[in-house]
């Protein structure tokens, strides 16, 4: 293969994978934007969704058109429930309380998932071909194309939601100041629940797509680790930032895997985005599109 073709392949692959990271990062951003909570269990949300869908498909033989909505419904319920049972009580507490609670939650979910549904890797088969599309020099696996398309659609929908819709404006208002939002009669708790439910939707989609690529077991939750470089690069509370951050992480990962790994024997793929993340924190801590604190003198 010629050099430029190889590069192009790495790039296109990176961009598609990157969009799929963006989708998962979107789950994180939604919660952070509305509730200021940092969700360290995002990857575990994806894993649980993967389990639900894979088990429905495999063990119960449910058709796909039933299994996917079931996964969505389960994750929405999970999001609502989690907010009601755990997170609502942490409102107004120091940020570290929420961080620790979600880290704990992540550990619990990593245990409870395999405990309930079995530790072996479950296939999550989508009715699409494994044969890549060949577009000139590019090889595009259909699952990546599907994942990227779903990501774009949902990033667009949620982006519109926050920017233009009535509820979206209310959520941004809450993110700005909870107390003032309350003074305006906005029911803050209801919007928190909505944010967690929306994260549930995104996680369910992520679970289906990533689950079908990697298979469903406890390792599916590792995809959550990609969220942090994505959101730090893009800005914790920015949907366009999640897109751009995802694209950057996807490309950096692939380029590192393609060009650096052959010399060092592999592994750079996994930490290259983190190097970038730390650099980003040093140079531009609020991310590319992140909300800057407006200060007045």
Residues that bind another protein (CB under 8 A): 92, 166, 169-170, 172-173, 175-187, 291, 294, 296
Residue 293 CB, nearest approach to another protein (Å): 9
- Closer to another protein by Cβ: residue 91 or 103: 91
Q: How far apart (Å, rounded) are the C-alpha atoms in residues 38 and 252? A: 24
- Closer to another protein by Cβ: residue 35 or 203: 35
- Closer to another protein by Cβ: residue 107 or 176: 176
- Closer to another protein by Cβ: residue 116 or 187: 187
Structure tokens at 50: 């993967």
H runs (alpha helix) in the chain: 3-35, 42-58, 64-85, 95-117, 142-164, 166-176, 178-183, 188-214, 227-234, 239-255, 261-264, 268-283
Structure tokens at 32: 């952070």
Residue 114 CB, nearest approach to another protein (Å): 41
Q: How far apart (Å, rounded) are the C-alpha atoms in residues 263 and 271? A: 16
Phi-psi region of 215 (alpha: psi -120 to 50; beta: other; left: phi over 0): left
- Closer to another protein by Cβ: residue 18 or 168: 168
- Closer to another protein by Cβ: residue 3 or 295: 295
Residue 177 CB, nearest approach to another protein (Å): 6
Residue 141 CB, nearest approach to another protein (Å): 39
Q: Residue 139: which H helix or E strand, with range?
A: strand 138-140
Phi-psi region of 291 (alpha: psi -120 to 50; beta: other; left: phi over 0): beta
- Closer to another protein by Cβ: residue 153 or 180: 180
Residue 163 CB, nearest approach to another protein (Å): 10
- Dmax over CA atoms of the chain, in Å, equals 64
Contacts of 182 (CB under 8 A, 6+ apart): 188
Residue 92's Cα: distance from chain center in Å? 25
Contacts of 267 (CB under 8 A, 6+ apart): 261
């Amino acid at each position: 293969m010629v050099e430029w073709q190889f590069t192009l392949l790495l790039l296109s692959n990176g961009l598609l994978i990157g969009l799929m990271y963006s989708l998962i990062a979107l789950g994180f951003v939604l919660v952070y934007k509305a509730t200021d909570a940092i969700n360290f269990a995002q990857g575990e949300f994806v894993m649980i969704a993967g389990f639900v869908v894979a088990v429905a498909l495999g063990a119960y033989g449910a058709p796909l058109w039933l299994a996917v909505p079931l996964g969505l419904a389960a994750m929405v319920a999970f999001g609502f429930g989690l907010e009601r049972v755990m997170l609502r009580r942490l409102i107004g507490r120091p940020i570290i309380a929420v961080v620790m609670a979600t880290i704990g939650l992540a550990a619990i979910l990593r245990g409870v998932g395999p405990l309930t549904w079995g530790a072996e890797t479950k296939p999550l088969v989508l009715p699409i071909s494994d044969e890549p599309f060949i577009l000139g020099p590019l090889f595009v696996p259909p699952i990546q194309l599907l994942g990227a398309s779903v990501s774009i659609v949902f990033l667009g929908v949620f982006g519109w939601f926050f920017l233009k819709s009535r509820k979206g404006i209310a959520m941004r208002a809450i993110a700005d100041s909870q107390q003032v939002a309350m003074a305006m009669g906005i029911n803050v708790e209801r919007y928190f629940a909505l944010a967690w439910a929306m994260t549930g939707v995104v996680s369910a989609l992520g679970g289906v797509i990533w689950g079908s690529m990697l298979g469903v077991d406890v390792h599916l939750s590792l995809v959550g680790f990609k969220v942090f470089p994505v959101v730090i690069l893009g800005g914790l509370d920015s949907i366009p930032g999640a897109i751009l951050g995802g694209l950057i992480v996807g490309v950096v990962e692939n380029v590192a895997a393609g060009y650096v790994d052959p010399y060092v024997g592999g592994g750079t793929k996994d930490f290259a985005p983190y190097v970038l993340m730390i650099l980003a924190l040093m140079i531009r801590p609020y991310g590319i599109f992140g909300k800057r604190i407006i200060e007045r003198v």
